[in-house]
Structure 1
Amino acid sequence: MEKIIDSQNNTKKTAKRRSGLKIVMQLIGLVKPMIPIMITAIILGVLGFLCAIFISIMGGYAILSISGVSQNSIDLSKIFAVVIIMAILRGVLRYGEQASNHYIAFKLLAIIRDKVFKALRKLAPAKLEGRDKGNLISIITSDIELLEVFYAHTISPVCIAFLTCLIMVIFFAQYSFVAAIIATIAYISVGIILPMITSNYGKDDGNKYRQRFGEINTYLLDSIRGLKEVIQYGYGNIRIKEIDRQSDYLADLNDNLKKCEGKSRANCDSLILIFSFIMLITCAILNSKGKMTIEGTVICSMGMLGSFGPVTALSNLANNLLHTFASGNRILDILEEKPLIEEVSNKEKMSISDELKENIIDCKNIDFAYLGNADEIILKDVSLEISKGEILGISGKSGSGKSTLIKLMMRFFDASSGEIKISGKNIKDWNTEDIRNSESYVIQDTYLFVDSIENNVKLANLNATHEEIVQACKKANIHEFIETLPNGYDTIIGEGHHQLSGGERQRIGIARAFLHDSDVILLDEPTSNLDSLNEGAILKVLNEERSKKTIIIVSHRQSTMKIADRVIKMKDGRAS
């Protein structure tokens, strides 16, 4: 494990370090559904490279035929015909190989995106609160996209290189066992040893580059979102200097990677020339001693020089894989991270019974501290009984544990000790989906998707009719405002589209709660952005709903608490 540190030397997260081999094996494991297409790509690739190699070898046979030194004279017209056919086949086979590999790559990228989103869904909200959003965006977008190099240009090229080199070694062995050994050593040196050395040189820089790339994304997102404050308080120059500083550091890392790539290419070309020269000299010596024919000398020398294509591709890949391995490591971190709260789905379906006579929610001796902060107790020995049809108010200073208590009731987190019962059953014995269906949760900052107002409200009940959506919006006192918009409920809202005020966004959130039509409504500062008129209208509707629902309101406002049957005050993590 290693600590990844941000530019201010503050610990951001703990990342798992994997070896390159382990990353490769785990990424290859995702290819199983595409094995038939992968085999097709490998066969086409091997045939394509053999066509390219034997074009130069056929040229050697042509030279021998013209010079008359070969005992096995081949008709030049046949040689030219074979060369033309091989040249055409090389293009066709290369196209087929690349098409197959890229189909696999982009199909797998879609599968990986789906897996990452599902993993994030399981981690939320407990493991994602306070998480670096810029890094998450970087992982979901650029990191996953970089895996295209691995799936399209790595897996099958490795297999192609192995099979092609094996065939060429057998071919050289027909002329000389010594030539076959030289070819074997050359292929291993260029295709395996050199990439391993190169990978070790730039491995750390590759990991740092991907991490810093995510951090600068976060900083840019903060700068854009806080643009008004930056302008208002003249903070622009400082933000720009910090962006420049981080960009320069990123550029330095990239320069190091480019230098590593340049050295690798230079070393690769040098090794190819050296081994080709060794093959030529060795074959010439063997020929002078009568242990190899002139034909063998020419064909082995030309074949050696023209057969490095597959292993050269592997050597060049080592540089791209520096980024790919770093990206793969970050993606695997997400896929393998264990959620703090395991979702339950195998229990008998449950709901809050209409005949329920006992408390709907019963908290007993609840203690809670966030993971990694055991010394900072948020809730201490909280016991609370909430009856059916009751409107309960929870007040207290910021940081007293009000919102945390609501999150525990939604089972976003589990209590450190004690238990919470819903309808007489421990919350851990409920299916997670059943909890979500039985409770509605409205937060202070409602998030709106880039979509129509109707679809944003409909998020709470995808089977709702337009009339039901309108009714929910009327209860939230936002229907009249929506009707004033040019496209009414079809108006597109969200970033880059029609912007709503804080109060309007909050009322959309409350409309969702009404549309969800659950037995329990949990409201966290539901009227903080509303004027007294809208607050009064919504509180009136909530008061009318008391016969059918249990309502828990967290608020600082005394006016909001007036509809509560009783008010619990939170202080230092305790309820009184």
Structure 2
Amino acid sequence: MDENLKKIIPLALNYRKDIVMNIFYNIFYAFFSTLMMVSMIPTLNVIFGLNEKITEKPVFKGMGDLKTFLEDYLNYKVTQLTAENGFEVSILFVISIIIITALLKNLTNYLALYHVTRLKNGVLRDIRERLYKVIINLPISYYSEKRKGDIMSRMLGDVNEVKNSFFQVLELVVREPLTIIFSIIAMFMISAKLSLFVFLFIPISGYIISIVGKNLRAKSKSAQEQNGIQISILDETLGGLKVVKGFNAEKIFIDKFNSSLGKLFRLSNSIGNKNNLATPLSEFLGILTIGVLLWYGGQLVIIDQSLKPTTFIAFIALAYTILTPAKAISKASYQVKSGLAAAERVFDVLEVENTITDKENAQSKTSFDSSITIENINFKYEEENILKNFSLEVPKGKTVALVGQSGSGKSTIANLLTRFYDVQDGSVKIDGTNIKDLTIESLRGLMGLVTQDSILFNDTIKNNILLGKQNASDDEIMAALKIANAYEFVMDLPNGIETNIGDSGGKLSGGQKQRLSIARAVLKNPPIMILDEATSALDTESEKFVQVALENMMEDRTSIVIAHRLSTIQKADKIVVMHKGEIVEQGTHDELLALNGTYSKLVMMQSFE
């Protein structure tokens, strides 16, 4: 059994009632499908006057005599009805058998589909639920190496492919095979000699169909990867549309997208052509078998006269009945191969090891009492060290600012403090406890974060700010907006805090978005505040207002401020100057100016007085 199929089975077993009921109804569907064809025999016999006239009610003598008993009993009823009510009633009787059988066949078909639909949609929901949980819990480092579009493709397209393809297996192993088996049993009961002749051709047909489906799984996986690339290009295009247009780069992105489209076009054609070939090929091979059957069976009817014409017609109908499930099996087997490729991509994500998790027996910390200590950290994203033997202590209630050129490792400190990344050498401690010994939830609960990029969501202002404190009242939200200097512009909006701000806050200016990010952190009111270029998107006037608000907020609070604009951190208790991952200077603003070193040069470059 395929490994991915084994992984789907435990998910499907959550809906074992639907599986059992689907199998139950499929068994009856297969039975009534065959019975409907067999019931043609007495109908044809009555129409052509070939039915045996039996006046005495037959007696059942055991299972070995079942076929003869049923035929004799039916002939007895037809003889009785014809004698008492005429030909019209007897023909209506045998036709009603076909109609009732057809009704039962289609009713059981509907009930089987009802339960398989519940099963498919339930497993689809469960996989997406698990996948989203994994996606949201995986460390940020995982996404620095992956295309977002590919992850989206796996969540949306591949999971849907699993739903649509995988549960064809129930038809492959239950419904269609049972229909074939019941038909074969009926055919053998009619004529064993004719049945054996027919089934010489079935293995040959199966072998030819399997050759056509070769390499389908590999091509399906490649097509799904191209879907991921296209979603990723589209996501990047929409996210950076101003840059694309501003640099007249439309043709570059169009060419990149069209290149992926071309690859997908060729793969889809190849996959589609093989899928399209499955039905006509299996039908042609089936008709070929029927043709041979007509040749041989015709001799049994006309020359040997060992088979009634009406029985032979029913036998042909049964043989043709086998074609429909055979076509369904060949088509479903192709779709299952696509499903296997999709499932492989889904489980690749589901089984990614999350390297940043809670230790067993991790502590839950609810207060911050003394200091943050960073000891001898070495850290690298790929090959080059970003931080080298970095050590720093941040006492409670103090503001420490990290400054330096881009790439000096400032934002990396924020990523390590929040455990977005884990330190490779050295340690980060809060009140003397290694942050790896704390639960991630309680660690991040101690911290408020305002990032360099204003990350907002397509929702109302209120719901964006409530991420800071989900049970906050409107009055608390208003107070946070005032501290962040966002109250006035929010109140000027048509619906106030209930205004939807669009995708990524696209309806707001950069400064407005940043102030809402600050309001969100203010509302959380954590003991430790991390400001990663928190005022970088503000205009000069807004920056002054927000800077005062931030200073008020940081009073008696432990703050780590990562700053590019040095004007925003001159009141910090300690300024740490970084260069290529190392501390080159530290002290107050005045002390560092007096040194006339790196900090002084940075100040001069920004024309700060």
The answer to whether the superposition gives a TM-score over 0.5 is yes
SS in 2 for 1:398: coil
Distance in 2 separating the partners of 1:198 and 1:342: 47
Distance in 1 separating the partners of 2:290 and 2:410: 75
Task: Give matches, 1:258-337, under 5 Å.
Answer: 258-279=272-293, 293-294=307-308, 297-337=312-352
Q: What residue in structure 2 maps to residue 97 of structure 1?
A: 112
Q: What residue in structure 2 maps to residue 15 of structure 1?
A: none
Instruction: After superposition, give the CA deviation of every residue in 1:188-239 in whole Å (9 maximum; x if it has no partner).
Output: 776x756654443322221111111111121122223333333333222343
CA separation of 1:309 and 1:28: change in aligned 2, threshold 3 A: farther
CA separation of 1:124 and 1:286: change in aligned 2, threshold 3 A: farther
Is 1:249 the counterpart of 2:270 in the alignment? Answer: no
| Alignment TM-score, normalising by the size of structure 2 | 0.83
* Contact map agreement 2:398 2:556 (CA 8 A) in 1: no
Is 1:548 the counterpart of 2:562 in the alignment? Answer: no
Shift of 1:525: 0.6
Shift of 1:494: 2.1
Shift of 1:281: 5.5
Task: Give matches, 1:80-119, under 5 Å.
Answer: 80-119=95-134
Bigger CA drift: 324-333 or 475-484?
324-333
- Of residues 142, 150, 170, the one that matches 2:185 is 170
Shift of 1:330: 1.4
Structure 1 gaps, min length 5 = 1-19
SS in 2 for 1:383: strand
SS in 1 for 2:559: strand
Q: What residue in structure 2 maps to residue 4 of structure 1?
A: none
SS in 2 for 1:243: helix
Shift of 1:184: 6.7
CA-based RMSD of the aligned residues comes to 2.8
Distance in 2 separating the partners of 1:291 and 1:28: 52
Is 1:437 the counterpart of 2:452 in the alignment? Answer: no
Is 1:225 the counterpart of 2:239 in the alignment? Answer: yes
Shift of 1:277: 4.1
SS in 1 for 2:107: helix
Q: What residue in structure 2 maps to residue 391 of structure 1?
A: 399
SS in 2 for 1:378: strand
Bigger CA drift: 123-132 or 455-464?
123-132
Larger Rg: 2
Distance in 2 separating the partners of 1:336 and 1:189: 40
| Alignment TM-score, normalising by the size of structure 1 | 0.87
Identity %: 26
SS in 1 for 2:568: helix
Bigger CA drift: 558-567 or 262-271?
262-271
Shift of 1:33: 1.5
Q: What residue in structure 2 maps to residue 3 of structure 1?
A: none
Distance in 1 separating the partners of 2:132 and 2:281: 41
Instruction: After superposition, give the CA deviation of every residue in 1:387-427 in whole Å (9 maximum; x if it has no partner).
Output: 11110111112122111111111111111111111121111
* Contact map agreement 1:442 1:510 (CA 8 A) in 2: yes
Bigger CA drift: 564-573 or 151-160?
151-160
Q: What residue in structure 2 maps to residue 42 of structure 1?
A: 23
Shift of 1:524: 0.7
Q: What residue in structure 2 maps to residue 160 of structure 1?
A: 175
CA separation of 1:173 and 1:144: change in aligned 2, threshold 3 A: same
Instruction: After superposition, give the CA deviation of every residue in 1:438-495 in whole Å (9 maximum; x if it has no partner).
Output: 1112111122111110110001111111111111111111111111111111111122
Distance in 1 separating the partners of 2:198 and 2:531: 73
Structure 2 gaps, min length 5 = 53-70, 79-90, 585-609
SS in 1 for 2:529: strand
Distance in 2 separating the partners of 1:290 and 1:65: 23
Bigger CA drift: 83-92 or 207-216?
83-92
CA separation of 1:464 and 1:182: change in aligned 2, threshold 3 A: farther
Instruction: After superposition, give the CA deviation of every residue in 1:549-572 in whole Å (9 maximum; x if it has no partner).
Output: 210011111101212111112222
Q: What residue in structure 2 maps to residue 414 of structure 1?
A: 422
Shift of 1:169: 3.5
Distance in 2 separating the partners of 1:238 and 1:551: 44
Bigger CA drift: 442-451 or 48-57?
48-57
Instruction: After superposition, give the CA deviation of every residue in 1:21-57 in whole Å (9 maximum; x if it has no partner).
Output: 2222222331111111122122223323433343333
CA separation of 1:346 and 1:314: change in aligned 2, threshold 3 A: farther
- Of residues 470, 478, 503, the one that matches 1:470 is 478
Q: What residue in structure 1 maps to residue 354 of structure 2?
A: 339
Bigger CA drift: 168-177 or 227-236?
168-177
Shift of 1:285: 7.0
